[in-house]
Amino acid sequence: MSSSLSHIHPNIHIRNIQPSDNPELALIVRNTLTEFGANVPGTVFFDPTTDALFELFQTPKSAYFVAEADGKLLGGGGIYPTEGLPDGICELVKMYLLPEARGIGLGRMLMERCLETARNNGFQQIYLETLPELNLAVKVYEKFGFEYLSAPLGDTKHFGCGLWMLKRL
């Protein structure tokens, strides 16, 4: 993957999450939600797993990828077999980037990695929950072919999210 990112920044690479990434990723997630006014109850802002992403993503068929350049984490995103989702569907989760890492194609690269991994893990569809406040991310999801749902799927416990989307893989 790093070679395809070289047009963005020669030192950016995408890798699997490591235990040492937890504190920095939690900060990126919470700062992003705060930046967009989405630091509300029922979101990952208050989810205790946000502080232990490495441990969370040891779950079978899950994966979390971080983007880094010159030793600095720029953000990440992953897939997760969320409880209560129908068979064959995983969730796109915790896709957050630092402000300086947005708009350069990095989100697209993380999304492609997540979609490819979901397919390789046997999923037929990928689901996500988000907030209207994260309108820049919503536009990316639309470009990738995610379609709006009228109600949530599964039991994510994130009752603060008001937009639900699904994509066939």
pLDDT at 68 over 90: yes
Residue 57 pLDDT: 97
For residue range 73-125, what is the model confidence (pLDDT) as tens digits?
Answer: 999 999 999 988 999 999 999 999 999 999 888 988 999 999 999 999 999 99
Which is higher by pLDDT, 9 or 56?
56
Q: For the packed helices 135-143 and 106-120, what is the interaxial angle rounded to 10 degrees?
A: 50
Q: What is the mean pLDDT of residues 153-160?
A: 76
Which has the closest alpha carbon to 110: 83, 131, 128?
128
pLDDT at 8 over 70: no
In the structure, what pLDDT confidence band is assigned to residue 137 with cuts at 50, 70 and 90? Answer: confident
Angle subtended at Cα 166 by Cα 38 and Cα 146, rounded to the nearest 5 degrees: 80
Q: What percent of the chain has pLDDT over 70?
A: 94
Q: Which residues contact 19 (CB under 8 A, 6 or more apart)?
A: 54, 55
pLDDT at 70 over 70: yes
Architecture per CATH, domain 2-168, reads as 3-Layer(aba) Sandwich (3.40)
Q: Helix (H, G, I), strand (E, B), or coil: what is residue 127?
A: strand
Residue 162 pLDDT: 85
The position carrying tokens 């109600």 is: 151
Q: What is the mean pLDDT of residues 22-27?
A: 96
Q: What percent of the chain has pLDDT over 90?
A: 64
Give residue 103's identity as a one-letter amino acid code: G
Most confident of 52-61, 127-136, 154-163: 52-61
Question: In the chain, where are the structural domains located?
Answer: 2-168
Residue 5 pLDDT: 44
CA distance 47 to 56: 12
Q: Which residues contact 82 (CB under 8 A, 6 or more apart)?
A: 90, 91, 93, 127, 154, 155, 156
Contact present, 10 and 17 (Cβ < 8 Å): no
Any idea what DSSP says for residue 157?
S
